[in-house]
Amino acid sequence: MKVLVFNAGSSSLKLGVFDDERQVFKAGFDRFGPDGCDLTVAGVVRRAPQTDLRAAIAAVPALLSEQGVAGIAAVGHRLAHGGTGFTGPARLDDAVVARIDALTPLAPLHNPAMLQAVRLARDLWPDLPQVAVFDTSFHLTNPARATTYAVPAAWRQAGLRRFGFHGTSHKYVAERAAEALGRPVSELRIISMHLGNGASACAVQYGRSIDSSMGMTPLEGLVMGTRSGDVDPGAFGFLQRELGLDIPQIEAALYADSGLMALAGSADMRDVQDRAAAGDAAAQGAITLYAYRARKYLGAYAAAMGGLDAVVFTGGIGENSATMRRRICDGLGFLGLTLDEDLNRAPDLSDQAAPQIQGPGSRVAVIVTETAEQRMIAREVRRLLARPPAVPRPIPVAVSGRHVHLSAPAVEALFGPGYRLTPGTPLRQPGNWVAQERLVLEGPKGRLERVAILGPLRARTQIEVSRTDSFALGVDAPLRDSGKLDGTPCVRLIGPAGHLDSDGLIVAARHIHTNPEDARAMGLQDGALVQLRLADGSARSLILDRVLVRVAPGTVTELHIDTDEANAAGIVGATEGALVGTAQPVD
């Protein structure tokens, strides 16, 4: 399938055509002005008469014909902001365009031009499917603790929260890193460092973004070319009092007159590094600050994920500056991360390569790769259009109370040598049961009595509690998919024959168990994320977002949620959910 991809800005238009994963055409219109613009095709720049975005998009059909590019089957568009409603790519129709338009206050500098491109392209290619891919969607898996600002409730209710950006880039490089390591992205903890004129870091835990350095706007986080990164919000009051600046003036300066430009007089890291090498103290300070801020986020995200498998550098600086990669990675030996000096100096990035540059014995892989946002957009478009339509079908809801899955050594430690659990009530999933025995969980704050044990035994002990339970125990249990136990906290299990301090404590992410037959009928894929509306019979209407689909032969189709989620929905007795949407697979 050939996909035409647009990335529109107020003064530029970038486009590419992808035949499956292969890019067959690349062009860009830049620096629109009264006398035309610069048109770049296949690396060759020439002047062109187009003076604005409308004229540039109108010229695309003739440009494609001139270059012998035919057979376009779909059009993909980059959109900077999708709010909280667009959890994945969306096929564009009038209703979706109206929803995007309503989000303009969240991205007034970016969405308007991108939305203009959408409207113009729909007029030019009315018979082709067109899809919007949002920079923010990848980060909607961030937990509330990563997205919430500690500000008055009225502000939060008005929409003030952290979103994160560069999501298409971070998702692409995480998938590319997993390919390079020969492992599923769903098994890896990756920190993606997108370092360019715009810069951000992203913690990708088992295929999902759990935190990003950018926040409500693309200003927060790392030092950038002309953007400040993290600034004390008290600066607004100080600057108003001391310099008489109003909010629009301060905001404009933070976007356009800050970052490397403010520190060293240039937004181009190459210039800054040349000046630093020549003895410019301001440039030297700028480089030190840039690296320090990036290294600080890298360490914080390793801690947030409870460990680290790979760091990926991308973006103009991340791809091309060996000295900046070195500065950021120096001092991270305590994480088991070391660089190979020779590999770091000249990584070969040709043909979308993703070379590893870590030193011998490094426990953390360090990868450099070119970001390919347009390629990722084309990939997202193909995935969406290839997905079979979902057939409405009720999905039974099962509420899981706190419980434990024990390993064989744990059973012996808690109940005595040679002890075998006594199967009790069978569960709906074939071969699963509730044991007659019970345990006590003990944390630093309190205890949970008579905790159920589920069989059969597992290779590793897993303890599942609700968020409320974790506060009762006094332990911060992370939200995890079942089986993702690395870096999880410990809790004490107490049985009749002894006690055991074990890791594996999680709040289990909501998920749907289903079998291949039901999955095909509902248009679902293993690893996909879906939205589910709980049946109207519940006391309160509730849509569950980002529900993981787990497909396995012999499985009974049902949704598993915990007691906190059931209480939020007012569920009493049997209820059902209905599929309302799907998102991208996580691996």
- Is 195 annotated to bind a ligand? Reply is yes
CB atoms closer than 10 angstroms to residue 129: 16
- Is 82 annotated to bind a ligand? Reply is no
Give burial (CB, 10 Å; 0-12/13-18/19+) of 430.
Answer: exposed
Give burial (CB, 10 Å; 0-12/13-18/19+) of 145.
Answer: exposed
Which one of the listed residues 52, 135, 309, 518 is annotated catalytic? Answer: 135
CA 406 distance to own-chain centroid: 32
For residue 368, report the phi and psi dihedrals to the nearest 5 degrees: -120, 130
Q: Are strands 36-41 and 22-33 parallel, antiparallel or unpaired?
A: antiparallel
Angular region, 27: left φ>0, alpha ψ -120 to 50, beta rest: beta
- Is 111 annotated to bind a ligand? Reply is no
- Is 216 annotated to bind a ligand? Reply is no
- Is 196 annotated to bind a ligand? Reply is yes
Q: Based on the residue annotation, tell me whether 123 is a catalytic residue of this protein.
A: no
Collect all residues with Cβ–Cβ distance below 8 Å to 274 and sequence separation of at least 6.
Answer: none
- Is 14 annotated to bind a ligand? Reply is yes
- Is 318 annotated to bind a ligand? Reply is yes
Task: Record the tokens describing residue 91, joined without a space.
Answer: 């096929």
- Is 1 annotated to bind a ligand? Reply is no
Q: Which element (helix H / strand E) includes 33?
A: strand 22-33
The 3-class SS string of 238-255 reads: HHHHHHCCCHHHHHHHHH
Collect all residues with Cβ–Cβ distance below 8 Å to 285 and sequence separation of at least 6.
Answer: 263, 264
- Is 268 annotated to bind a ligand? Reply is yes
Q: Name the DSSP class of 257.
A: S
Rg (CA), the chain: 26
- Is 270 annotated to bind a ligand? Reply is yes
Binding residues: 7, 14, 78, 194-198, 268-270, 316-320, 373
Binding-site residue ranges for ATP: 14, 194-198, 268-270, 316-320
Binding site membership for substrate: which residues? 78
| Residues annotated in a binding site for Mg(2+) | 7, 373
User: What residues act catalytically?
Assistant: 135
